[in-house]
Amino acid sequence: MIKIEHMSKSYGPYPAVIDISFEVLKGEIVGFLGPNGAGKTTTMRVVTGYTPPTQGDVTVGGYDVVSHSLDVRRHIGYLPETVPLYLDMTVTDYLTYMGEIRGMNKSWVKERLPKVIDMVKLGEYRNTLVGRLSKGYRQRVGISQAILHEPDVLVMDEPTIGIDPIQVVETRELISNLGEEHTMLLSSHILPEVSAICKRVLVINDGRIVADDKPDDLSEKLQHAERIEISVRGAEAPAFINAMRDISDVVDARSDQRASVLQRSEREDFLPFIVDARPNVMATETIAKTIINNGWGLANLTPLPMTLEEIFLELTTEENLGE
Amino acid sequence: MRFISVIAIKEIRTYFASPMAYVVSAAFLAITGFFFVASVSDAFAEASIRGYLAGAIFFMIFMSPALTMRLLAEEQKLGTLELLLTSPLREFEIVFGKFIAALVTTMVMVGLSLYFVLVLFVYGDPDIGPLLTGLVGLTLYASATLAVGLFASALSSNQIVGLVVGSGILTTLTIIDFVSARLSGTAAQVMDAFQLGASFSVFDLDSFGVAEGGHFADFARGIISVTDIAYYLSITAVFLLLTVLVLEARRWR
């Protein structure tokens, strides 16, 4: 549905996106992940026909975004990052206007509007001025305008940014449901969100795509190191850390400074540590032996799965080192 | 065409749902009313709307940009321009829809002031020719000033910038004869040809003038000239085109 080939976009001399290529197939939900300023919004603006690419070809549903911009725009529902709303219109008036601008006729709007309002649960606010709504409800109005004209492709830029946690959960659910009938490109800098909603993740950093995979595979592939949580009794911290670092498979060892762990350790009189070891070796076994041989008490030894956040950091910092 | 009317209707509704249209209408009626009364209240005064027209076109230098300043600046500020530009709309449909909304609103205002004409018919025997040409001229003049104002509104997301730039362009075109009077030859002729029509002599209680060399003078006198019509239509067309170009340039940034 969306096909990007060697696309670059610069603002004056500043490159925002550099030579990216990817394809989103019909019915796919693709998460677009990256820190602020990585080029997510720029890419989405190119896809939606808001701004043309500096180089490369971008097509949506087979239409080129530059030469057939109007056709592209007819097939896209777009929710920009700052939800664009006319604050002095009521929800119904706003959505009716947006529908008409998207080329819907009056009877189509009339038939479709109640369904959409129902879907996003805006029923009791249908005659409220948009300016009076809370941020979460404004977001729903924003989503409504994007799906009102039943577009084939949905592009959502940071759809859960700046709304409270309960509404975030509801909004995510709503978006997941939308994914069942739309091709979707969704950007976020929050990783659990992307792994919850999307079946495929594109990681973008500094205008380049650095990874393209399923969320689960992504964490498996990138597990360069195994992280182990260890608690011991009767050891001095420096002595323990040195002993750990002497083990050949251990990459690094340090005191665990997480507040929750520290509190518990004070009460139960043990020292918490974090040890990073190379994967695919029986590092844990060697670590346990070393602790016992030194006469320390082993209270806890748990391998931690790497979170997407850490993978993300790793990916993006590696990219920086590479340059 | 359908998109133009969708946008125009939305903007007209916004005008009349906010205090803007009412405040500007009140000010317009009060100020033109003053000039009208002052021009017909002398003994043996001429039963014409010349004073009203002079006041109206002078005031529109500021009123038109004030009416249009919101139209495109706010879309940029709210981010809704991004929605408009990613909808299957062409830039000229956006610009034209908004222009028509501003023109209709202005015409409603002018319509409200038409009771001055009734007053003339009740208490005097006005000449119908200059009345009609005056109103035709006023419509053309309004569309030219609104187009300038709309262009200024497209330049930034700040409404005040739109107001100042719009009024600035219109004031420059109004006082252009001050400059041309100090020049001679072709330069002076060219500059005179751009005189917008209003005159600061509107504050001179004896003349209630429109600019003598300006494009409104003939309309006020009861004469319709092709040059004047072409001038106002050209200003309208050029500035609407510039507005479309400003919006298109926004994409390429």
**pLDDT tens digits, residue range B157-181?**
999 999 999 999 999 999 888 888 8
Same domain, A9 and A138: yes
Same domain, A245 and A121: no
Mutant choice from A65, A100, A144, A157 vs B, greatest count of B C-beta within 10 A: A100
Same domain, A95 and A169: yes
pLDDT value, residue A321: 42
Would an 8 Å CB–CB cutoff place A144 in contact with chain B?
Answer: no
Q: Is there a contact between A50 and B82 if contact means CB atoms under 8 Å apart? A: yes
Q: Is there a contact between B252 and A51 if contact means CB atoms under 8 Å apart? A: yes
If one compares B12 and A198, the residue with the highest pLDDT of the two is: B12
Whole domain around residue A197: which residue ranges?
A: 2-221
| Strand A14-24 relative to strand A2-11, pairing | antiparallel
Kindly state the tokens that stand for B222: 């009861």
Domain count, chain A: 2
Any idea how long chain A is?
Answer: 323
Q: Is residue A175 domain-resident?
A: yes
Read off φ and ψ for residue B199, nearest 5 degrees. Answer: -145, 145
Integer Cα distance of A152 and B122 in angstroms: 65
pLDDT value, residue B23: 92
Closest residue in chain A to residue B16, using alpha carbons only: A88
Same domain, A87 and A151: yes
Would an 8 Å CB–CB cutoff place B88 in contact with chain A?
Answer: yes
Same domain, A181 and A272: no
Integer Cα distance of A9 and A98 in angstroms: 28
Looking at A199, A221, A243, which one is the last position of a domain?
Answer: A221
Integer Cα distance of A170 and A190 in angstroms: 16
Q: Is residue A312 domain-resident?
A: no
Q: Is residue A313 domain-resident?
A: no
For chain A, 323 residues long, the average pLDDT of each consecutive 10-residue run is 91 89 90 83 92 92 91 92 89 94 92 92 91 89 92 90 80 84 85 80 85 74 71 84 83 77 70 79 80 86 68 57 38
- b/e burial code for range B85-95 (CB count within 10 A of at least 16 → b): bbbbbbbbbbb
Q: Is residue A101 domain-resident?
A: yes
Please answer whether residues A100 and A109 qualify as being in contact, where contact means their C-beta atoms are separated by less than 8 angstroms.
yes
Q: Which of A143, A125, A101 is nearest to B75 (CA)?
A: A101
Q: Which of A173, A33, A9, A142 is nearest to A78 (CA)?
A: A142
Looking at A179, A205, A221, which one is the last position of a domain?
Answer: A221
Please list every residue in chain A whose beta carbon sits closer than 8 Å to the beta carbon of residue B10: 97
CATH number at residue A99: 3.40.50.300
For residue B109, is pLDDT > 80? yes
Would an 8 Å CB–CB cutoff place B234 in contact with chain A?
Answer: no
Would an 8 Å CB–CB cutoff place A48 in contact with chain B?
Answer: yes
The amino acid occupying position A162 is G
Looking at A221, A241, A262, which one is the last position of a domain?
Answer: A221
Same domain, A206 and A133: yes
**pLDDT tens digits, residue range B43-83?**
777 778 888 898 899 999 999 999 999 999 999 999 899 99
Q: Is residue A137 domain-resident?
A: yes
pLDDT value, residue A323: 35
Would an 8 Å CB–CB cutoff place B249 in contact with chain A?
Answer: no
**pLDDT tens digits, residue range B196-236?**
888 877 777 666 677 777 888 888 888 999 999 999 999 99
Would an 8 Å CB–CB cutoff place A108 in contact with chain B?
Answer: no
Please list every residue in chain B whose beta carbon sits closer than 8 Å to the beta carbon of residue A89: 14
Q: Is residue A314 domain-resident?
A: no
Residue of A50, A100, A101 lying closest to B251 (CB–CB): A50
DSSP assignment of B41-88: -STT---SSHHHHHHHHHHHHHHHHHHHHHHHHHHHHHTHHHHHHTSS
pLDDT value, residue A225: 64
Same domain, A176 and A280: no
Using a 10 angstrom Cβ sphere, with 0-12 exposed, 13-18 middle and 19 or more buried, the burial of residue A196 is: middle
Same domain, A136 and A180: yes
Same domain, A189 and A297: no
Mutant choice from B82, B86, B94, B157 vs A, greatest count of A C-beta within 10 A: B86
- Rounded to two decimals, the pTM is 0.82
Q: Is there a contact between B83 and A73 if contact means CB atoms under 8 Å apart? A: no
pLDDT value, residue B42: 75
Please list every residue in chain A whose beta carbon sits closer than 8 Å to the beta carbon of residue B6: 97, 100-101
CATH number at residue A273: 3.30.70.1340
Read off φ and ψ for residue B97, nearest 5 degrees. Answer: -60, -45
Q: How far is B25 from chain A (nearest CA, A)?
A: 20
Residue of B10, B86, B253 lying closest to A11 (CB–CB): B253
Q: Which of A59, A10, A60, A65 is nearest to A39 (CA)?
A: A10
Q: Is residue A318 domain-resident?
A: no
**pLDDT tens digits, residue range B14-41?**
999 888 889 999 999 999 998 888 888 7
Q: Is residue A315 domain-resident?
A: no
Question: Cβ contacts of residue A99 below 8 Å, gap of 6+?
Answer: A108, A109, A112, A113, A145, A148, A149
Residue of B10, B80, B86 lying closest to A73 (CB–CB): B86
Q: Which of A27, A22, A30, A24 is nearest to A6 (CA)?
A: A22
If one compares B203 and B6, the residue with the highest pLDDT of the two is: B6
Would an 8 Å CB–CB cutoff place A14 in contact with chain B?
Answer: no
Same domain, A150 and A99: yes
Please list every residue in chain B whose beta carbon sits closer than 8 Å to the beta carbon of residue A51: 251-253
Residue of A52, A89, A102 lying closest to B88 (CB–CB): A102
Chain A neighbours among B 90-109 (CB < 8 Å)?
90
Closest residue in chain B to residue A82, using alpha carbons only: B79
Residue of B10, B18, B86 lying closest to A78 (CB–CB): B86
Would an 8 Å CB–CB cutoff place B182 in contact with chain A?
Answer: no
Same domain, A261 and A148: no
Would an 8 Å CB–CB cutoff place A86 in contact with chain B?
Answer: yes
Same domain, A243 and A210: no
Would an 8 Å CB–CB cutoff place B251 in contact with chain A?
Answer: yes
